């Protein structure tokens, strides 16, 4: 176990009890990894790397998908 | 389409329709899906945005549109710098559908006219990264030539500002771009109704991308059908070659054989 962390996901601050992987974060947010693209501190994390990438205190995460547009 | 026409090929890929449509601004998803079907477009544009973590808004557009049925063209709409546009393009490619990007770098909030310096910078970077860049630009020949030189797969001059519905304001410049550029020219933005689409295609451009003209019509599904027909009619008229304009009348019926 690690100490509690504070991260920013899609512009909103979130407090978590401990570090976790990006896969676990998506699961906690009930998001399908196939349906979102993950950016960690402005670097894209490809899907195969989600499970092995740890979310740490202060990280900024963007979760994006396609919406209607012209 | 006439047997004399060539298929539309962009970045080495053949497309079955010269009409491309956006997926924004529809009053509901069912209308969007029906309108896109009625347009018979193959390329549909989408935007990259944050997932709504509160689930108060709808799911992503792919919840409603089958990616196997349409060619998804992601845009960088809303980006005001080359850096942002490159970031959005990379995110879009990571979604895993294709390497095409409709590149927009906007320079002015009121008119949504492009920042051509930022556009060129972003285009060069993205081409170097293997993207097939379709560049939304103004109707300026020199910029179009520079975008082509930068390796863009298609040049997308506007007919008039995004969402304005003002139609093709400057046929001459769009025609000039088409004549001088060897990559496909797809007019993007500004078409308001079917006659605008038809007149635009009559200039000889390779296709049109539109969103608001269909989405904001009173009956989007019927307008989508009209746009499909207009793009085809304009294309055929261009291929057929119009008659010369004359300042005087020329009778269509014989002048001989008239009664005394």
Taking CB atoms and an 8 Å cutoff, what residues of chain B touch A70?
Answer: 22-25, 45, 47, 75, 77, 162-163, 189, 209-212
Find out whether A42 and A18 touch, Cβ atoms under 8 Å: no
Give the DSSP letter of residue A10.
T
CB atoms A66 and B62 under 8 Å: yes
Q: How close are the terminal C-alpha atoms of chain A, in Å? A: 46
Strand A5-9 to strand A12-16: parallel, antiparallel, or no bridges (unpaired)?
A: antiparallel
pLDDT in tens, B44-84: 999 999 998 887 566 788 888 988 899 999 999 999 999 99
Alpha helices in chain B (DSSP H): 29-39, 82-94, 116-128, 141-149, 171-180, 194-202, 212-215, 220-240
pLDDT in tens, A21-31: 999 999 999 99
Taking CB atoms and an 8 Å cutoff, what residues of chain A touch B92?
Answer: 37, 66
Mean pLDDT, rounded, for A29-45: 94
Which of A12, A29, A37 is opposite residue B95, by nearest beta carbon? A37
CA B164 to CA B144: how far, in whole Å? 22
Question: Does the annotation mark B102 as catalytic?
Answer: yes
Catalytic: which of B25, B102, B132, B178?
B102
CA B92 to CA B46: how far, in whole Å? 9
Which of B46, B62, B95 is opposite residue A69, by nearest beta carbon? B46
Which helix (H) or strand (E) segment holds residue B132: the answer is strand B132-137
- Chain B closest-CA separation from residue A2 CA (Å): 25
Tokens 């993007």 belong to residue: B188
Which pLDDT score, from 0 to 100, does residue A2 have? Answer: 75
CA B230 to CA B252: how far, in whole Å? 27
Find out whether B151 and B172 touch, Cβ atoms under 8 Å: no
Alpha helices in A1-70 (DSSP H): 22-28
Residue ranges in chain B whose pLDDT is less than 50 = none
CA B56 to CA B3: how far, in whole Å? 50
């Amino acid at each position: 176990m690690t100490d509690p962390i504070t991260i920013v996901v899609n512009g909103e601050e979130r407090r978590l009890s401990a570090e976790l992987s990006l896969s676990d974060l998506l699961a906690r947010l009930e998001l399908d990894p196939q349906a979102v693209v993950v950016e960690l501190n402005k670097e894209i994390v490809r899907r195969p790397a989600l499970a092995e990438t740890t979310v740490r205190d202060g990280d900024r995460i963007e979760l994006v998908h396609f919406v209607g547009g012209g | 389409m006439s047997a004399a026409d060539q298929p539309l090929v962009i970045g080495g890929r053949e497309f079955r329709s010269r009409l491309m449509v956006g997926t924004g601004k529809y009053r509901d998803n069912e209308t969007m899906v029906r309108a896109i079907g009625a347009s018979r477009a193959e390329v549909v544009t989408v935007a990259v945005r944050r997932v709504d973590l509160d689930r108060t808004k709808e799911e992503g557009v792919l919840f409603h549109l089958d990616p196997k049925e349409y060619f998804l063209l992601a845009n960088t709409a809303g980006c005001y710098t080359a850096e942002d546009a490159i970031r959005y393009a990379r995110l879009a490619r990571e979604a895993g559908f294709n390497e095409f990007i409709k590149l927009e770098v906007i320079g002015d909030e009121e008119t949504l006219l492009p920042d051509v310096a930022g556009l060129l910078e972003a285009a060069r970077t993205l081409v170097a990264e293997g993207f097939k860049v379709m560049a939304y630009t103004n109707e300026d020949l020199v910029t179009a030539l520079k975008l082509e030189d930068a390796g863009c797969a298609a040049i997308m001059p506007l007919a008039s500002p995004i969402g304005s519905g003002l139609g093709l304001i400057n046929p001459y410049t769009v025609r000039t771009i088409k004549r001088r550029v060897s990559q496909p020219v797809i007019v993007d933005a500004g078409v308001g109704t079917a006659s605008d689409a038809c007149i635009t295609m009559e200039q000889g451009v390779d296709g049109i991308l539109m969103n608001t003209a269909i989405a904001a019509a009173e009956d989007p599904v019927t307008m989508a059908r009209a746009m499909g027909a207009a793009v085809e009619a304009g294309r055929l008229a261009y291929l057929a070659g119009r008659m010369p304009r004359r300042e005087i009348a020329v009778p269509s019926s014989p002048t001989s054989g008239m009664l005394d």
